[in-house]
């Protein structure tokens, strides 16, 4: 992948080159109208929806926690863990994420409001809102600005120079998936940046660090001390602990997958940092349209992903109630079609595969994975070894050769 | 004895607070109440709610809602009002309604709502609430209550002369707090109106003003009380008697000078009664149901600094309403400038009082450090403002 602006330079087409300024205006107008149509009809039906989801989630959580009091018995462990995983997923995705976006603020219910909600995650809501709503949603897919792409720890684009340390990013991404809530907390804290810039003593950092520490302490106490202790009577201390750890991990893996699917699969565009200087609203809209990918699937799938399966619609209108994304999706898709834009939507397994494939591909030098086959494997591995152990000069030279071979094979194929 | 009490109570209290801490640790980031609300939204300790039990039409556009309040309802004095939070089309709205019964033996409370044309809440309450609807409540409040006769003022042989002489002036739905007081004094049963000893202390005249008899809520109740001989009723219907002229007050209520007046209704009538009584030096208590004059100004942006939201406000509507429309959670009470529950500190900016047109300004460095406290329900923006909220 290459940023949309650099595509023509390497012989690819810029997917929005055919749009005139007038087209952009018209697209923006249509999107504004779609947004307004939802706002005009927002009401009791939507309020009932979110209340029902919250009630369901709490009932499942309560039921599962009760079942887990006897988690020593394997059937109870299985049922309780499954239930708790589902409850935690619902809580983070369809409920927490969307409430914190302010999607339900219009109800003026102080219990379901972005300024009062706290979620079942290591990162405090306030810090997440800043990092996610203000940074990620504004700078979506702008290389160097949107750290959600790879969380600043991965190579996410061919244009970023390859370095041997990137070989580790597959493992790193998997670790991040397992402990995703802590990854997010560290990321929201800008932990890496703070270390790099020696800002660990900065009062703002210290304050936020303390907030995260307190939140994590409460979360850990709940799942790994209080609930196991309550299960002690049935001798289920350890098994409840394991159940809670499993549920947290399942939730982490699931949300990591869904979020990777949102911006990482092939077909999603990235953008140059400079390209957003003085960006207009229509340009912003188009960046959101091309910078996101959807997951197609059943209603249940949409709810379990917090309707982030409608990532495109969510990025266009982050504060519309999530139950409406599915309703406006056909209109949005139709708009894409009419303006010759690619609406990136595939089933979950394909999107997950595509995203992971990209992580793997970018962990290797540009073109390496494409050019490798059973026959040349030993030679390619040797090259990789040389690039990984040699200095920048070696890397540049070998990279040039791989790229040249890749171009030649492309020409031959054509 | 005292020591023994505290030594048995203290451990109980300590256990209670420990259990509570444990429950909190088990439910964080939610609170135990979030789960208890699933089963028992009206339990002691819950946020105050009430369940509508029945709805009784009073006139074509008014209805009485009988509500079972949550366990923590601490009762009321007739004449007081309750703030009701209701989800209208999914949006939580709060309005004040007078309680139209004295404390009832069955513990229920009632409000009587008149549907205001184009109103957001009242038509919903009158036409769309159903038995079973859960409402949010606050504890009863309000100073518009009957004075309690002091010792010596009632009882004894010359009781009749010492009765407390009152005049109620009510217009339209302004009858509601008054009917609450009257029903409490003179309960009506199957066998007629009861004459209770405690009520003998009052001598009451009700001057009730309404556009027409059929529109008039509680007209039948008032007539019933009159025929039982416990009040004197002066009903004035605009279509029959013409619009009430306060110059006629002396003719309608000859012993006006001996009476203390309680007036309730929309602003226009209250202003007129107030002017009349002030001129004559007569005692007056009022309860207003809505803001009178609206003075539109220029408007401006209002920034809620802590919420991190900026709202573009026009100068014709209160900041409260426009901020709520923009999704900001705002404190509020009567929504008409009397209870001061909506007050927020303004650090910087200018606002205009919609009733008087008066400007209030806050300049950082000049005004108090905490800012100037303004009522958001009756002030509109008159320039860019920063509120600490
Ligand atoms: C202390 C107190 C006690 C009250 N007790 C009662 C009561 O017992 N019964 C009752 O029906 N109401 C009572 N009210 C009035 C009630 O709180 C609401 O203001 C009223 O129901 C209108 O609300 P709404 O949302 O329907 O109208 P809104 O949407 O708030 O207003 C819509 C329009 O109607 C106008 N309007 C508002 N109120 C009135 C009114 N009373 N008469 C005519 N026009 C109006 C507004 O200026 C506006 O133009 C009381 C108010 C207070 C402050
Ligand atoms: S809400 Fe009562 S004074 Fe403003």
Chain B contact probe: residue of A115, A120, A211, A214 with most B CBs at under 10 A: A115
State the closest ligand 2 atom to the C-alpha of B331, by its place in the atom list counted from 1. Answer: 1
Interface of A with B in 204-223 (CB under 8 A): 215, 218-219, 221-222
* pLDDT value of residue B261: 96
Coil, helix or strand at residue B7: helix
CA distance A21 to A30: 14
The β-bridge relationship of strands A294-296 and A345-347 is parallel
How large is the average pLDDT for residues A93-108? 95
CA distance B215 to B194: 27
Q: Which domains does chain B have, with CATH numbers?
A: 49-137 (2.40.30.10), 163-287 (3.40.50.80), 300-387 (3.10.20.30)
For residue A340, give both structure tokens: 């010759």
* pLDDT value of residue A1: 53
Please tell me if the CB atom of residue B176 comes closer than 6 angstroms to any atom of ligand 1. Answer: yes
Cα–Cα distance list, A193 to A147, A164, A205, B42, B358 (Å): 11, 21, 11, 49, 51
Please write the tens of the pLDDT for every residue from B117-137: 989 999 999 999 999 999 999
DSSP B74: -
Tell me if A108 and B30 make a contact (CB, 8 A cut-off): no
Say how far residue A51 (Cα) sits from the centre of its chain: 25
* pLDDT value of residue B157: 41
How large is the average pLDDT for residues A300-327? 97
**Res. A150 pLDDT band, cuts 50 70 90:** low
Highest mean pLDDT out of B32-46, B233-247, B341-355, B362-376:
B32-46
Quote the Cα angle for A138-A144-A146, to 5°.
30
* pLDDT value of residue A152: 66
How large is the average pLDDT for residues A311-333? 97
Residues of chain B with C-beta less than 8 angstroms from the C-beta of A47? 87, 90-91
Neighbours of A80 (CB within 10 A): 28
The answer to which of A356-365, B165-174, B263-272 has the lowest mean pLDDT is B263-272
Residues of chain B with C-beta less than 8 angstroms from the C-beta of A46? 90
Coil, helix or strand at residue B52: strand
Neighbours of B224 (CB within 10 A): 17
Cα B116 to middle of ligand 1, angstroms: 7
With a cut of 80, say whether residue B3 has pLDDT above it. no
Residues of chain A with C-beta less than 8 angstroms from the C-beta of B30? 58
The answer to which of A393-397, B119-123, B265-269, B340-344 has the lowest mean pLDDT is B265-269
Say how far residue B180 (Cα) sits from the centre of its chain: 12
Residues of chain A with C-beta less than 8 angstroms from the C-beta of B34? 58, 111
The answer to which of A140-154, A278-292, B200-214 has the lowest mean pLDDT is A140-154
Nearest by CB to residue A107, choosing from B28, B90, B307, is: B90
With a cut of 50, say whether residue B150 has pLDDT above it. yes
Coil, helix or strand at residue A186: helix
* pLDDT value of residue B155: 42
Is the peptide bond preceding residue B29 cis, with omega within 30 degrees of 0? Answer: yes
Please tell me if the CB atom of residue B287 comes closer than 6 angstroms to any atom of ligand 1. Answer: yes
For residue A35, give both structure tokens: 């947004």
Nearest by CB to residue A222, choosing from B28, B87, B324, is: B28
Please write the tens of the pLDDT for every residue from A387-411: 999 899 999 999 999 989 988 888 8
Cα–Cα distance list, A171 to A154, A168, A252, A356, B137 (Å): 11, 6, 16, 11, 55
For residue B252, give both structure tokens: 């309608």
Please tell me if the CB atom of residue B332 comes closer than 6 angstroms to any atom of ligand 2. Answer: yes
State the closest ligand 1 atom to the C-alpha of B114, by its place in the atom list counted from 1. Answer: 11
| Mean pLDDT, chain B, integer | 89
Tell me if A221 and B91 make a contact (CB, 8 A cut-off): no
Shortest CA distance to A369 belongs to which of A384, A352, A386?
A384
Identify any residues that bridge with B202 across adjacent strands, giving them in sequence order.
Answer: B164
With a cut of 90, say whether residue A161 has pLDDT above it. no
DSSP B146: P
With a cut of 50, say whether residue B111 has pLDDT above it. yes
With a cut of 80, say whether residue B62 has pLDDT above it. yes
To the nearest whole Å, the CA of A109 is away from the closest chain B CA by: 6
For residue B287, give both structure tokens: 């309860």
Cβ atoms of residues A218 and B29 within 8 Å:
yes
Please tell me if the CB atom of residue B218 comes closer than 6 angstroms to any atom of ligand 1. Answer: no
CA distance B389 to A214: 25
Please tell me if the CB atom of residue B335 comes closer than 6 angstroms to any atom of ligand 2. Answer: yes
Cα–Cα distance list, A354 to A263, A308, A349 (Å): 11, 17, 8
**Closest C-alpha to ligand 1, atom 46:** B119
Q: What is the largest CA-CA distance in chain A?
A: 72
Contacts of B68 (CB under 8 A, 6+ apart): B42, B50, B51, B53, B107, B108
Coil, helix or strand at residue A6: helix
Q: Which helix (H) or strand (E) holds B306?
A: none
Please write the tens of the pLDDT for every residue from B9-55: 688 899 999 999 999 999 999 999 999 999 999 999 999 999 999 99
Looking at chain B, which residue has its C-alpha nearest residue A222? B26
State the distance between the two ends of chain A, measured CA to CA, in whole angstroms: 20
Tell me if A46 and B90 make a contact (CB, 8 A cut-off): yes
With a cut of 90, say whether residue A117 has pLDDT above it. yes
Shortest CA distance to A228 belongs to which of A236, A216, A220?
A236
Contacts of A89 (CB under 8 A, 6+ apart): A250, A251, A254, A255, A304
* pLDDT value of residue A187: 86
Please write the tens of the pLDDT for every residue from A346-378: 999 999 999 999 999 999 999 999 999 999 999
A351, A355, A356, A358: CA torsion to nearest 10: 140
Shortest CA distance to A162 belongs to which of A390, A363, A414, A385?
A363
Please tell me if the CB atom of residue B95 comes closer than 6 angstroms to any atom of ligand 2. Answer: no
CA distance A403 to A387: 14
- What is the value of pTM for the model shown? 0.90
Tell me if B34 and A219 make a contact (CB, 8 A cut-off): no
Say how far residue A310 (Cα) sits from the centre of its chain: 12
Q: Which ligand has the nearest atom to the CA of B318?
A: 2
* pLDDT value of residue A146: 76
**Res. A278 pLDDT band, cuts 50 70 90:** confident
Tell me if A108 and B22 make a contact (CB, 8 A cut-off): no
With a cut of 90, say whether residue B170 has pLDDT above it. yes
Please tell me if the CB atom of residue B70 comes closer than 6 angstroms to any atom of ligand 2. Answer: no
Interface of A with B in 29-68 (CB under 8 A): 42-48, 55, 58-59, 62, 65
Cα–Cα distance list, A150 to A136, A316, B388 (Å): 12, 21, 37
Looking at chain A, which residue has its C-alpha nearest residue B35? A58
Tell me if B38 and A59 make a contact (CB, 8 A cut-off): yes
Q: Which helix (H) or strand (E) holds B165?
A: strand B164-171
Put simply, whether A250 touches B (Cβ < 8 Å) is: no
The β-bridge relationship of strands B260-265 and B164-171 is parallel
> DSSP characters for A13-24?
PPTTTT--HHHH
Shortest CA distance to A185 belongs to which of A144, A244, A128, A147?
A128
DSSP B95: E
Cα–Cα distance list, A263 to A146, A182, A288, A350, B331 (Å): 11, 20, 10, 14, 40
Residues of chain B with C-beta less than 8 angstroms from the C-beta of A58? 30, 34-35, 38
Chain B contact probe: residue of A101, A108, A215, A230 with most B CBs at under 10 A: A108
Say how far residue A396 (Cα) sits from the centre of its chain: 32
């Amino acid at each position: 992948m290459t940023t949309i602006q650099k595509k023509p330079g390497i012989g690819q087409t810029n997917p929005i080159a055919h749009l005139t300024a007038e087209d952009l205006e018209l697209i923006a107008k249509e999107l504004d109208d779609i947004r307004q149509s939802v706002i005009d009809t927002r009401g009791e039906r939507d309020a009932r929806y979110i209340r029902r989801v919250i009630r369901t989630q709490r009932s499942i959580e309560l039921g599962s926690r009760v079942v887990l009091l006897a988690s020593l018995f394997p059937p109870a462990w299985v049922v309780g863990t499954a239930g708790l995983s589902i409850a935690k997923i619902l809580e983070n995705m369809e409920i927490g994420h969307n409430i914190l976006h302010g999607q339900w603020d219009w109800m003026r219910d102080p219990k379901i409001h972005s300024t009062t909600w706290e979620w079942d995650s290591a990162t405090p809501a306030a810090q997440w809102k800043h990092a996610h709503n203000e940074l990620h949603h504004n700078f979506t897919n702008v290389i160097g600005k949107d750290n959600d792409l790879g969380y600043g720890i991965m190579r996410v684009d061919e244009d970023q120079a390859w370095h041997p340390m990137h070989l580790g990013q597959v493992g790193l991404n998997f670790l991040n998936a397992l402990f995703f809530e802590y990854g997010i907390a560290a990321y929201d804290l800008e932990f890496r940046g703070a270390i790099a810039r020696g800002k660990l003593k900065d009062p703002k950092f210290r304050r936020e660090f303390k907030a995260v520490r307190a939140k994590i302490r409460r979360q850990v106490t709940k799942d790994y001390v209080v609930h196991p202790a309550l299960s002690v009577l049935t001798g289920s201390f350890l098994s409840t602990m394991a159940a809670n750890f499993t549920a947290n991990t399942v939730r982490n893996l699931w949300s990591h997958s869904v979020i990777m699917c949102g911006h990482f699969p092939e077909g999603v565009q990235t953008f140059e940092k400079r390209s957003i200087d003085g960006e207009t609203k229509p340009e912003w809209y188009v960046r959101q349209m091309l910078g996101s990918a959807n997951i197609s699937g059943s209603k249940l799938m949409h709810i379990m992903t917090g309707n982030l399966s409608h990532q495109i619609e969510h990025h266009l209108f982050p504060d519309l109630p999530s139950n409406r994304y599915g309703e406006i999706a056909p209109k949005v898709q139709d708009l894409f079609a009419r303006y010759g834009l690619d609406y990136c939507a595939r089933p979950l397994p394909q999107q997950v595969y595509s995203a992971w494939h990209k992580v793997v591909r970018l962990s290797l030098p540009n073109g390496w994975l494409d050019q490798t086959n059973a026959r040349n494997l030993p030679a390619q591995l040797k090259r990789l070894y040389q690039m990984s152990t040699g200095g920048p000069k070696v890397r540049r030279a070998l990279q040039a050769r791989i790229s040249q071979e890749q171009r030649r094979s492309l020409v031959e194929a054509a | 004895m005292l020591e023994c009490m505290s030594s048995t109570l203290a451990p109980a209290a300590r256990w209670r607070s420990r259990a509570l801490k444990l429950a909190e640790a088990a439910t964080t980031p939610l609170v135990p109440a979030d789960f208890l609300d699933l089963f028992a939204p009206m339990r002691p300790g819950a946020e105050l709610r009430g369940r509508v039990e029945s709805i009784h039409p009073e006139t074509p556009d008014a209805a009485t809602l009988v509500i079972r309040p949550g366990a923590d309802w601490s009762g009321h004095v007739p004449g007081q009002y309750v703030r009701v939070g209701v989800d209208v089309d999914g949006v939580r709205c709060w309005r004040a309604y007078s309680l139209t019964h004295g404390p009832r033996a069955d513990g229920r409370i009632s409000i009587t709502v008149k549907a205001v044309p184009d109103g957001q809440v009242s038509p919903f309450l009158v036409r769309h609430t159903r038995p079973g609807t859960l409402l949010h409540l606050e504890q009863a409040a309000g100073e518009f209550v009957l004075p309690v006769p002091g010792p010596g003022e009632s009882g004894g042989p010359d009781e009749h002369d010492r009765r407390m002489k009152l005049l109620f002036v009510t217009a339209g739905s302004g009858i509601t707090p008054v009917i609450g007081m009257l029903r409490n004094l003179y309960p009506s049963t199957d066998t007629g109106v009861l004459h209770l000893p405690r009520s003998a202390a009052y001598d009451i005249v009700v001057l009730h003003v309404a556009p027409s008899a059929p529109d008039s809520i509680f007209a039948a109740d008032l007539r019933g009380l009159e025929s039982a001989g416990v009040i004197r009723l002066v009903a004035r219907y605009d279509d029959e008697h013409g619009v009430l002229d306060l110059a006629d007050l002396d003719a309608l209520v000859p012993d006006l000078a001996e009476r203390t007046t309680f007036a309730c209704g929309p602003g226009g009538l209250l202003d007129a009664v107030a002017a009349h009584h002030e001129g004559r030096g007569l005692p007056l208590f009022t309860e207003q149901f809505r803001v009178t004059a609206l003075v539109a100004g220029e408007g401006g942006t209002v920034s809620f600094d802590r919420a991190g939201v900026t709202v573009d406000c026009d100068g014709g509507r209160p900041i409260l309403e426009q901020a709520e429309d923009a999704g900001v959670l705002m404190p509020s009470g009567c929504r008409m400038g009397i209870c001061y529950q909506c007050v927020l500190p303004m650090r910087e900016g200018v606002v205009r009082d919609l009733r008087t047109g008066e400007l209030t300004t806050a300049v950082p460095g000049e005004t108090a450090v905490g800012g100037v406290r303004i009522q958001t329900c009756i002030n509109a923006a008159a320039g860019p403002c920063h509120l600490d909220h």
